[in-house]
A and B are shown apart, each in its own frame.
Chain A
Amino acid sequence: MSAHLLEVRNLSVEFHTATGTVKAVKNVSYHLDRGETLAILGESGSGKSVSASAIMNLIDMPPGKITSGEILFDGKDLLTMDPAARRDVNGRRIAMIFQDPLSHLNPVYTVGWQIEEALTAHGATRAAARSEALRLVARVGIPAPEASLKKYPHEFSGGQRQRLMIAMALALKPDLLIADEPTTALDVTVQAEVLALLEELQHETGMGVLIITHDLGVVAEIADRVVVMNAGEVVETGETGEVYRNPAHPYTKKLIGAAPGKGAMHAPLARAEPVLSVRGARKVYGEFTAVHEVSFDLMAGETLAIVGESGSGKSTVAKMLLRLEEPSGGQAFWKGRDLFAMAPAELYALRRDLQMVFQDPTQSLNPRMTVWQLITEAWVIHPGILPRDKWKARVAELLGQVGLKPEMAGRYPHQFSGGQRQRIAIARALALEPQLIICDEAVSALDVSVQAQVIELLDGLRKRLGIAFVFIAHDLPVVRDFADHVMVMQKGRVVELGTVREVFETPREPYTQALLAAGLDPDPEVQAARRKARLALAEG
């Protein structure tokens, strides 16, 4: 009766956890046809990956449990199939690629062996598998395919590893490919290439593609239809352009509204005496130079964004400024004194002025300390800041400043959501009353809607308290609404440095142009136009 390739009907899955049973997905239904691309869009905790794991039989039971529903594939229910038949569907009929290809490839076997295994597991001979693996690796664009087959996963770059995963998944020409956040861990330019490859292969084989993502841009780029999920439920389903233009559900509206890169750009402040001036900062590891001669100025109350892909050296610059990494050369004058030449005692006094907010608040907050302990630690370390009897009032004030309630001070970090944790980290930084805060990918790990809130918070602090920010990011749209100046880095060098308007509207360097072109816009129409421009750029 079902003409669809895949149909998920009323699927419910629950997980047992310490705090009771969590219903990960509730009565989820969707369908997918051959040759079609369906995106499941959702933020963390929305349950967007759970139905895909159920399709692949990858849910560990216990702690998971499928409580209702059916998954029809070619009309047959996967959930009631016998185990041997079910296993045979995996790899042959349905294949899957994952977010983090490094951990999803077995580190101790060659990639050639692993691709061949996808074939031999379903009955191919070694020799046939071998030649097919070679063809596949060449097809997904890995240089020197013959030699590559003998290499191990750690010897490839992130983008190449995802290509290899794709080669492995497509070995038996499956009818359905499930891609779980396939480009999230990749740089923007690589992301565009991998998505293009997926699309090409879909045209060649006519398979259906189910793509799971948190990124509206990815949806706009690749999906025909989209399923929006929130808190385990499907809130909206429809054709991609239609959903973007006329979102029906408030959650979808909120999600679209939160996408960065649409607000007004900052006009740079009048030039004044810089508080921080970096001259020729360098970092060398043995033979390898991570940072070449970086120089910039920063004024009070100003935001400098440092943007670059992985390996650009942007984080190393941040760590050098805080002396978490020892610089190999250059100077950094903070109010006239060279940070790079300071003795430990001087540095200790300076810690008050310069603070940092790290990428992942789950890791940057000590899990065994309460919010109270985390924030007051600043005053324990620097006894001069605040007398003990004022701590209580000040903690309440700081928590208020970052949008949390004072009564949360007794809780531990794991009792908060990701966005709230980052607010705690910001409150901790503010406790020292710093004049410069360095944000190292401070919003990259957060959901889009939370990202927008945190950026708003930071920008408010800048205006009210006159704090200067160095904001490090890999993603250009994020910094567009927030930065005064933008510095683009590539392979340890500064490629371009200008006001935010200059960089976004009239980028001079080809690399900046490529970076802007590779970014995915959440609007399907804008994205279609941008894709055309990108292809033109690639050809010309």
Chain B
Amino acid sequence: MSSFVRKRAFASLISLLLLLVAVFFLSRLTGDPAALYLPVEASEEMRQQFREVHGLNDPILVQFGNYIWDLLHLDMGESIRKARPALDVVVEAFAWTLQLALITMALVTGAAIVIGSLAAFRAGGFFDRVSSLVSLIGASAPDFWVAIVGIVVFSVGLGWLPTSGTGTVWHWVLPVAILFIRPFGLIVQVVRGSMITALSSAYVKTARAKGVKSRPIIFVHALRNAMLPVITVIGDQAAALLNGAVIIETIFGFPGVGKLMIDSILQRDFNVVLAAILVTALAIFLMNLLIDLAYALLDPRIRY
């Protein structure tokens, strides 16, 4: 197991390094922060000084070398915009994203498994057709459009829910509900397909020959076997959420890491972009390890 983790960590490290290089050089192509942060009438001298302070005057390779050197000392630099350590800014935002992702994925997983399993048990039946259509519509809707409609109906029209912010529990309802829709639609479909395969398998036949009742056949015999492909999709969807739900964060004024990344690149706050990439990549790496662990727990044939 530990050698497996090491191998995975090594592979991820290489990907991360490549990603870091790409973001570092690409982001610097978007323009000069000095032009954005200093008034238009600022003299060339002031600009020079600004660049000097933020280490932007060195040749770009030297800048990269310095960044990596600092990174090895766990220093991710300052945020130009917030004048605070970039890491602090990112961790603050990431905490929000993490909560949002955890709550959403927990709800999605539970609901998708129960509904997908029941749909698969009577494939082609009424429940199956209704749940398939509903989940398909869910997976087809643009989330920003659902968000707008949701605000119009529930916040403006009925006045039940706040439009944006993070103050109370009620502030979470709409963002979570809207983030829920698409992964739910996808995962229900995967659960259903995987369960249909599992339910038509030979070992389910054996269980029926043993006289096992329907409910344990679905939720004990078939479900555990059907979970492997489901977990993969859950992982992909969770990773997408950990990368930040830019649209939802923007619409609901939610201070998550997705919005932070986009704002920072538009504001040429490069250190924050890089720190955000690193933090989310680390989170996704850890989550993928958990997914692999779940594989091994579910299927005794998998050993690392």
Contact = CB atoms under 8 A, between A and B. Distances in A.
Asked if the two chains touch in their complex, CB atoms less than 8 Å apart, one says yes
Interface of A: 56-58, 60, 87-92, 95-96, 98, 100, 103-109, 117-118, 121-122, 152, 154, 165, 168-169
B209 A96 contact: yes
A500 B142 CA distance: 73
Given A106-B225, A107-B225, A58 B209 contact: yes
A103 B209 contact: no
A107 B301 contact: yes
Contacts of A88: 211
A108 B205 contact: no
* Chain B interface helix/strand/loop/mixed: helix
B204 to A, nearest CB: 8
A51 to B, nearest CB: 15
B208 A56 contact: yes
A96 B207 CA distance: 10
B211 A87 contact: yes
23 contacts: A56-B208, A56-B209, A90-B209, A90-B210, A90-B211, A91-B210, A91-B212, A95-B209, A96-B209, A104-B205, A104-B206, A106-B207, A107-B225, A107-B299, A108-B225, A108-B300, A108-B301, A117-B212, A118-B210, A121-B210, A121-B211, A121-B212, A121-B216
B194 to A, nearest CB: 13
B154 interface: no
Contacts of B301: 107-108, 152, 154
A117 B224 CA distance: 16
A302 B101 CA distance: 70
Nearest to A88: B211
Contact of B208 (A58, A109, A154, A168): A58
Contacts of A109: 221, 224
Interface in B209-252: 209-213, 216, 221, 224-225
Interface residues of B, number: 21
Contacts of B213: 87, 121
Contacts of A60: 200
Contacts, number: 74
Contact of A104 (B202, B216, B225): B202
Nearest to A115: B210
Contacts of A104: 202-203, 205-206
B12 interface: no
Contact of B201 (A91, A96, A103, A117): A103
A108 B211 contact: no
B298 interface: yes
Nearest to B298: A108
A6 to B, nearest CB: 15
Contact of B202 (A56, A100, A152): A100
A89 B201 contact: no
A130 to B, nearest CB: 17
A95 B205 CA distance: 12
Nearest to A53: B205
Nearest to A100: B202
B211 A91 contact: yes
A60 B299 CA distance: 27
Nearest to B224: A108
Nearest to B205: A58
A98 B211 contact: no
Interface string B99-129: 0000000000000000000000000000000
Nearest to A89: B211
Contacts of B216: 121
Interface in B160-219: 200-203, 205-213, 216
Contacts of B203: 103-107
Nearest to A62: B124
A105 B211 contact: no
A166 to B, nearest CB: 12
Contacts of B210: 90-91, 95, 117-118, 121, 168
A96 B208 CA distance: 10
Contacts of A122: 211
Contacts of B299: 107-108
B208 A105 contact: no
B185 to A, nearest CB: 27
A100 B202 CA distance: 9
A90 B205 CA distance: 11
A105 B201 CA distance: 10
Contacts of B205: 58, 98, 104
Given A56-B209, A108-B298, 17 more contacts: A56-B208, A60-B200, A87-B213, A88-B211, A89-B211, A90-B210, A91-B211, A104-B202, A104-B206, A105-B206, A107-B299, A117-B207, A117-B210, A117-B212, A121-B212, A122-B211, A152-B301
Nearest to B199: A60
A125 B25 CA distance: 67
B297 to A, nearest CB: 10
Contacts of A108: 224-225, 298-301
B109 to A, nearest CB: 19
List the 10 closest pairs (A to B, CB-CB), nearest first.
A91-B211, A90-B211, A103-B202, A106-B203, A91-B210, A96-B209, A104-B202, A152-B300, A104-B206, A118-B210
Contacts of B209: 56, 58, 90-91, 95-96, 169
A107 B206 CA distance: 12
A180 to B, nearest CB: 10
B100 to A, nearest CB: 32
Contacts of A103: 201-203
A50 B298 CA distance: 34
Given A106-B225, A108-B225, A108-B298, A98 B202 contact: yes
Nearest to A56: B209
A377 to B, nearest CB: 33
B126 to A, nearest CB: 15
Contacts of B208: 56-58, 90
A104 B206 CA distance: 6
Nearest to A60: B200
Contacts of B225: 106-108
A266 B8 CA distance: 59
Most buried by B among A60, A95, A109, A168: A109
A67 B206 CA distance: 25
Contacts of A90: 208-211
